[in-house]
Structure 1
């Protein structure tokens, strides 16, 4: 990584917004073409017992999302300020190549439905490409022993990076069960990660460490935004595994790029929140999909089934069961993801006492709104 001269440092908020808008427009325009292609080659999701949709639906929308990401990255490469993300780091190139691999695997799965082991091999390959391009965890902070900085060797960092990427890929794949759900969570998580990375730019003026993660997150957020009009209920296309796996991979890459190389040892050792802020943001951004994944693995393993077997007991299914409509269930999960992700980012930027107050209020509102159907039933009875 490198350091820009203090006199040449410019906070590139407008450039990141432009990258996101470009990715959104490209994705929006490509989605219609991908929809026609999906019908033509037979990449169509036919209703099954565990599905919510009731009519055949084209998938493979991840191809359009990837096209939007490429459009945003290409623009960033031509912008003088954001060019630093490419000049001082291989992270953006690694994400582009790894994203291409995961989208290819997803497109094949959207058409032919690959077995779980083949998909896992593709996921590990894509995660390994990130590591090959230097995108991996190198430093971590551990709370025991009075607090210490733990330096990871190349093998440990690579293993942790691959594990996080594969976990996040499958978490986003599992959560993609309602119209607009995965795209919305991807938009929220990527926007929060981008905001966190821009906050790092403000705190370390002249450092280019935060340029790549902010760029990756901005491109992903824009692509998800461009896909949502086609995918929100009632959807006209599904993103398929090509989309959900790409979102999971890019979220893992952005959070790793933002947090994995941060020199937490340079912070005041008494500032516990400052030391833990990268991990707090990562945990909050990934909380909803990872919770759904963890619950699914425990539930299926307890029944003696494969963790990758399908069922109809995900978080979104449970919201439907208690009386929420599809749209309301999706918006509720957006609310939970937004409160947690942006609350964690706000903790790193503003007065923690004020942020915690608003975070608690937001969580109370989310719990109350989620329980409204049950409260109505209890009132009627």
Structure 2
């Protein structure tokens, strides 16, 4: 217990330190959020991944928090997924590259001896989908970090119930690393998570949840896995439904996610992650209760019904047509703009 608390505290401090130290290199390398009006360095994703991997691997090597061979593969695969996300932060990749890469990584971590071939293939697909939809939460300050930390606590509780101490410790380290990152990402954000951190966090949560549920009932397992990711699934459903209703390509990015639409209702920037984090906590609580047998798997339908309410309420809310980063000419005075126009002409 003491080693777990020490490891979590170390991950929190290391993540907070790295997120600040890596801001300048991220700006110089151009690793910034392209959707922002001002350059936001995406140093948080690297900080979270490094803090989680270094602390977990170091504690395992020292024999303080043994992870086990299976959990060690999960950490290694999550690191590879983080590198793929870093490549996506550096340059635009085709929309299918990151889901495909995530599915390949998931194929190496699913415990097929416990799930069987068919359920194992379904688990690979679910990990890829869950990781992708979690990446979509990285659209508002503090949102992905808050929801990820809550989800990590939920998976840790399920792992503790199964006496998987190594996996529970890993989730505690991840939650602490995300908390350290949130010190820089709370509105107004000074560092972003980016694809590297979002894919790393989503993959680690999804694959760890599969590990916890491997070899148990499919119905209850489906309920637990959905309830753990209810907010991310609601965001993805809102985006897909809204774009299809507007006859737009689903893969074409727009500011039409859950947080964007809640802001259009007049909510303060800090209120969005608080409300959605609370909703995520409700889903996680149901997931833990279903996993431990305190609730039946049917309780997940109540989570789905609650998640459907904001989707149906917000799907027809107007959104900004496209991302509009600030342009230097537009912010200049009329005289300067005229001068620039004459020179360019």
What is the TM-score with the length of structure 1 in the denominator? Answer: 0.72
CA distance in 2, matches of 1:127, 1:348: 22
* Contact 1:137-1:161 at 8 Å conserved across structures: no
How many residues are matched?
A: 305
**Equivalent in the alignment of 1:332:** 275
Verify: 1:16 aligned to 2:4, yes or no: yes
CA separation in 1, counterparts of 2:73 and 2:84? 17
CA RMSD of aligned residues (A): 2.9
**Aligned equivalent of 1:214:** 168
Summarize the Cα distance change of 1:130–1:60 in structure 2 as closer, same or farther, 3 Å threshold.
Answer: farther
Q: Secondary structure of the equivalent of 2:22? A: helix
Who is 2:337 aligned against?
A: none
Cα gap change, 1:351 to 1:23, in 2 (>3 Å): same
User: Which segments of 5 or more consecutive residues in structure 1 lack a partner in the other structure?
Assistant: 1-12, 140-151, 202-209, 265-274, 372-381
Q: Deviations over 1:277-307 (max 9, x none)?
A: 5443322111110121123223334444433
Alpha-carbon separation, structure 1, partners of 2:126 and 2:23: 31
Match of 1:317 among 251, 254, 260: 260
Picking from 179, 184, 200, the partner of 2:162 is 200
1:171 aligns with 2:133: yes
Match of 2:224 among 281, 295, 306: 281
CA contact (8 A) 1:22 1:71 kept: no
TM-fit CA distance, 1:232: 1.0
SS where residue 313 of structure 1 aligns?
Answer: coil
Distance 1:136 1:233 in 2: 42
Tell me, yes or no, if structure 1 residue 77 matches structure 2 residue 60: yes
Q: Structure 1 residues 261, 18: closer, same or farther in 2, change over 3 A?
A: farther
Q: Where do residues 37-52 of structure 1 align in structure 2 (5 Å cutoff)?
A: 37-46=25-34, 48=35
Gaps of 5+ in 2: 315-345
Residue pair 2:136, 2:235 contacting (<8 A) in 1 also: yes
C-alpha distance in 1 between matches for 2:248 and 2:125: 22
Does residue 66 in structure 1 map to residue 49 in structure 2?
yes
Give me the whole-angstrom Cα distance separating, in 2, the residues matched to 1:338 and 1:189.
8
Q: Determine the C-alpha separation between the residues in 2 that align with 1:176 and 1:212.
A: 28
- The verdict on how the C-alpha distance between 1:137 and 1:55 changes in structure 2, with shifts beyond 3 A counting, is farther
1:27 aligns to 2:27 (yes or no): no
Normalising by structure 2, we get a TM-score of 0.79
Give the deviation of 1:259 after TM superposition.
Answer: 0.5
- Kept after mapping to 2: 8 A contact 1:179/1:232: yes
Q: How far apart, in 2, do the equivalents of 1:347 and 1:286 lie?
A: 14
TM-aligned CA deviation for residue 346 of structure 1: 3.9
2:193 to 239, 242, 263: 239
